[in-house]
Amino acid sequence: MTISEQKKELRKQMFARRNALDAHTKQSYDTWICAELLKIITEKKAKLVHAYIPFLTEINIAPLLEKLLDTGITVVCSKTLPKRKLENRVLSSLVDLEIGIMGTIHPAQPNLYEGKFDLIIVPGLAFDKNKKRLGYGGGYYDNFLVNYPDAFKVGVFYPFQELALVPIETHDLSLDLILTRVF
């Protein structure tokens, strides 16, 4: 089986496992992730945070995003564009949003941001102890992260998403920290 085929199969498995997570366990874990991310952002004195707006069964970091906005931290979220590109937009509220390609959610207002980030929160489907991640397969985050080598990159995952080894290709990047814990 090729690496590409391995990744495709793992994605199906991880989506199924994430979709099967019971609501109470998910909410409890998501709350813990938000608290831990806030601690890290505070410790790093991050003023510019790139984050995702959760959709489907991703870890729900919306409460964290609200807190960051309330404390004056600039939050930037991506609009997914064709050809593995992301357009970075400043998030001003979790109300003024729209749905983009592949069902992703992004700020509706095209208030573009093109500077550096202190911290980037990265979702994914699987990870390993080498801080490698398996994303959704579009290559968007790999193309994005390579442009921000100085930003602190935190991957957020459920414990069952840990693998002994994530199958990787040359374009797959490592994160600085994997945030997970046992339920």
Domain around 78 = 3-179
List all residues 6 or more positions away from 104 whose beta carbon is below 8 Å from its beta carbon: 53, 55, 78, 79, 80
pTM over the 0.75 mark: yes
Is 80 exceeded by the pLDDT of residue 183?
no
Specify the higher pLDDT residue, 121 or 81: 121
Distance CA 129, CA 137 (A): 20
Please name which of 130, 124, 132 lies closest in space to residue 161, comparing C-alpha atoms: 124
Q: Is the pLDDT of residue 73 over 90?
A: yes
Alpha-carbon distance of 120 to 148, in angstroms, equals 9
What CATH number should be reported for the domain holding residue 82?
3.40.50.10420
Q: Where are the beta strands (DSSP E) in the chain?
A: 48-50, 74-81, 85-90, 97-99, 105-107, 119-122, 126-127, 133-134, 152-156, 177-179
- Tell me the pLDDT tens digit for each residue of 130-149: 999 999 988 899 899 999 99
Summarised one tens digit per residue, pLDDT across range 113-134 is: 999 999 999 999 999 999 999 9
Domain count of the fold of the chain: 1
**DSSP at 83:** T
pLDDT digits (tens, 9 = 90+) for 11-63: 999 999 999 999 999 999 999 999 999 999 999 999 999 999 999 999 999 99
